[in-house]
Amino acid sequence: MTTFVDLAAWLAAEPADAALKDVVTTIAETCAGISRVVASGALSGSLGVAGTTNVQDEEQKKLDVITNDMLSDALKGCAPVAGLASEELEEIEPTGRVGGYLVTFDPLDGSSNIDVNVSVGTIFSVLPAPAGHAPAEADFLQPGRNQVAAGYAVYGPQTMLVLTLASGVNAFTLSADGQWLLTHPAVTVKADTAEFAINMSNQRHWAAPVQRYIDGCLQGKDGPRGKNFNMRWIASMVADVHRIMMRGGVFMYPWDSREPGKPGKLRLMYEANPMGLVVERAGGKATDGVTDILDIQPAKLHQRVPVVLGSANEVEVVRAEMRA
């Protein structure tokens, strides 16, 4: 029987300060708790809508609210956390402490999949907090390169935690007795792929470069790419990105003309930045089409951004099309 290192032992050997390890441990333990609530579904009465909308004017599911409360409460009780921000909270929440870390999160990603028992996840990003004063919203608006830790939990056939701290990406599987065990050390994203992920139902609304890129893929062997492509779209960013972490691929949620004033659907601070860091640390790339996601200077907490990420060479093909 193979033995696996658990998260605590793995963290002990990582070159990070104890306070950051405390934050990561708190998030990991909360995600293990979220996994139990997600798995209980109708048995705990946690499916269905909450009857409220969030700051993005999206209908909240009961699980969006439950998981937001779980993470908020846990982080408020974690000494090194000075402030938090969530997809489900209009404003940042200072914890009353100064220094240490800021955490942003999407407590439940893939809300449309909850009630149909398809994989959902939690995404998190950890940034340094300012020293000397309680954090304000402006203190959260740091480019993704500043992240000191980021990752996600995916609640799927297995519950997994995919994490990056100072370097590299490691993936842990939740055991039946509630331990995070290192099952996938040093995850890398294949540089080449023949698999793309995009919501094809928006095709007629895309800009010309995205139309050209996808059209090239769809032409397969007979087209400019000279190879056949496969398509997958789970509609949970966590699950789509996790597949790319495991077997390569390119994920896109580009700008489209349905709401031309919106840069994209996904949010920079708690979706694109943490996923961008995980993908880059595994050797992949993440861009808005022009700028690396991690180099974008955020202007607003709930800022949206176009996203293209995954296998490095394929992201470059998309980027070249967007620059043409």
DSSP summary character for residue 307: E
The residue ranges of DSSP E strands in 97-158, in sequence order, are 101-109, 120-128, 149-155
Q: What would the two tokens of residue 1 be?
A: 């029987």
Only one residue has tokens 């050390």, namely 185
Q: Which of 10, 30, 106, 285 binds ligand AHG (CB under 6 A)?
A: 106
Task: Say whether residue 112 binds ligand AHG (CB under 6 A).
Answer: yes
Q: Tokens 């220094």 — which residue?
A: 99
Chosen from ligand AHG, Mn ion, none, partner binding at 321 (C-beta under 5 to 8 Å by type): none
- x/- mask, Mn ion, residues 94-133, rule CB under 5 A, reads ------------x-xx------------------------
Work out how close the CB of 232 gets to ligand AHG at its nearest, in angstroms, rounded to a whole number. Answer: 12
Q: Which does 313 bind (CB under 5 to 8 A by kind): Mn ion, ligand AHG, none?
A: none
155 DSSP β-pair partners: 120, 159
Are 26 and 82 in contact, with CB atoms under 8 Å apart? Answer: no
Q: How far is the CB of 241 from Mn ion (least distance, A)?
A: 11
Query: Using CA atoms, how far apart are residues 111 and 120, in angstroms rounded to an integer?
Result: 7
Rounded least distance, CB 36 to Mn ion, Å: 18
Q: What distance in Å separates the CA atoms of residue 89 and residue 75, rounded to the nearest whole number?
A: 14
Nearer to ligand AHG, 10 or 206 (CB): 206
| Residue 235 site contact among ligand AHG, Mn ion, none (CB < 5 to 8 Å, cut-off depends on kind) | ligand AHG
List 61's β-bridge partners, or say none: 49
Q: Which residues bind ligand AHG (CB under 6 A)?
A: 58, 87, 106, 109-112, 199, 235-237, 253, 265
